[in-house]
Amino acid sequence: MKTTNEIIRQASQLGMVVPGFNVPYLPMAKPIIQAIVDQDAFALLEVARLELIKFEARSLAAVAEEFNRWGRPDFVRLHLDHVPVIDEDGKHVDYLAVIKEALGLSFQSVMVDGSRLDLAGNIQATHQVVEMAHETGVPVEAELGAVMGHEAGPLPPYEELFKSGRGFTDPQEATRFVKESGCDWLSVAIGNIHGAVSVATRDQKKVEARLNLEHLDRLRQATGIPLVLHGGSGVNQDNVLAAIRRGIAKVNVGTEIRQAYETALRKTGSVAGAQQATYERTSWVIKDYFGINGQRARLLG
């Protein structure tokens, strides 16, 4: 059976994508996995640190237990999403302890996010995680640049962000970062933004983001490794599909399915109803947004 790293590399080479579906509420795990299987796709089930502390994913152990209960490794693997070195509230995180716990629970890939550090600090933090994870054969995703949206307070106007290139990943820095950190995949900033996570704003519709595809081409040349797009919900579909053809091998999807779950739970008061809404929206993302239903064999072959 191919490793997760081999699958992501295959996706990059073939111009295909592996979605990463986030689990902010523990009951979402089952319908996400079922949708992946029913659509004959391959994807990652993932949880970020903020989903443990600001939502109801509960714990890494709880997510791993749900994955082990429903998971099918030939369809879906378990990924640890954003573990920041400095979090969205400006607090330092014991990131090595969190990642060590995930490795002990058999997460099949992990992410360290040192993007709020300077370049040297980000390289050093990422390299520490790479050394630890590679001992167990687990690939490491890192982030360079500023994929905004999780910070406290409102974002600047999106058009201002896009036109200025504020926070975009620098290609020269990316070359050095990949070489010195040893990361396997790199999350880049090319116009994508995260969905808001504060209680006051988490229900709002995301801005339809665009992607600077020429900048992506420069980053792909500069790095030579699979690239990752965070904040995939709500990005202009044509832009996303073009980015996948140009080297984006993994796209994170959070807001799209989280809001489906939350809306259905409010309307019905039923977890089962919210799970059904999650299943339907995950299926839509796979089939109608990415168009990867039925393509699992090609990716794993």
Give the separation between CA 12 and CA 234, rounded to whole angstroms. 22
The DSSP bridge pattern shows strands 18-22 and 43-47 to be parallel
159 exposed, middle or buried (CB, 10 Å; 0-12, 13-18, 19+)?
A: exposed
- 128 burial via Cβ count (<10 Å: 0-12, 13-18, 19+): middle
Cβ–Cβ < 8 Å for 177, 144? yes
Cα–Cα distances in Å, from 89 out to 54, 92, 191?
A: 12, 9, 22
Mark residue 155 as left, alpha or beta (left: phi above 0; alpha: psi -120 to 50; beta: remaining): beta
pLDDT average, residue stretch 175-187: 98
For the chain, give the percent of residues with pLDDT over 70.
88
Question: At 199, is the secondary structure helix, strand, or coil?
Answer: coil
Identify the helix (H) or strand (E) that includes residue 119.
Answer: helix 119-134
In tens, the pLDDT along 41-74 reads 999 999 999 999 999 999 999 999 999 999 999 9
Measured CA to CA, the distance from residue 113 to residue 148 in angstroms comes to 13
Query: How many residues in total does the chain contain?
Result: 301
The pLDDT of residue 38 is 98
H-run or E-run covering 83: strand 76-84
What is the C-alpha separation between 7 and 41, in angstroms, rounded? Answer: 12
The string of pLDDT tens digits covering residues 1-46 is 899 999 999 999 999 999 999 999 999 999 999 999 999 999 999 9
The pLDDT value given to residue 152: 53
pLDDT on residue 158: 61
Q: Residue 197: pLDDT band by 50, 70, 90 thresholds?
A: very low
* Reported confidence tier of residue 167, pLDDT bands at 50, 70, 90: confident
CATH 3.20.20.70 assigned to 4-300: yes
What pLDDT is recorded for position 236?
A: 85
Mean pLDDT confidence for 284-291: 97
- CA 27, distance to chain mean position in Å, is 19
Rounded mean pLDDT, 278-295: 98
Q: Does the pLDDT of residue 198 top 50, yes or no? A: no
Stretch 182-200: mean pLDDT: 74
Rounded to the nearest 10 degrees, the angle between the axes of helix 213-223 and helix 171-181 is 30
> Would you state the pLDDT for residue 2?
95
Cβ distance 146 to 164 under 8 Å?
Answer: no
Among 114-118, 185-189, 195-199, 288-292, name the one with the lowest average pLDDT.
195-199
| CA angle 131–134–137, rounded 5-degree value | 170
Question: pLDDT tens digits, residue range 226-282?
Answer: 999 998 777 889 999 999 999 999 999 999 999 999 999 999 999 999 999 999 999
Q: Give pLDDT, residue 141.
A: 98
Report the C-alpha gap between 155 and 153 in whole angstroms: 7
Tracing tokens 């999807």 back to the chain, one arrives at 253
How much of the chain exceeds pLDDT 90, in percent? Answer: 81
- For 114-123, 195-204, 275-284, which range has the lowest pLDDT when averaged over its residues? 195-204
Q: Is 124's pLDDT higher than 50?
A: yes
Which pLDDT score, from 0 to 100, does residue 163 have? 62
73-100 pLDDT per residue, tens: 999 999 999 999 999 889 999 999 999 9
At 200, the pLDDT band (50, 70, 90 cuts) reads: very low
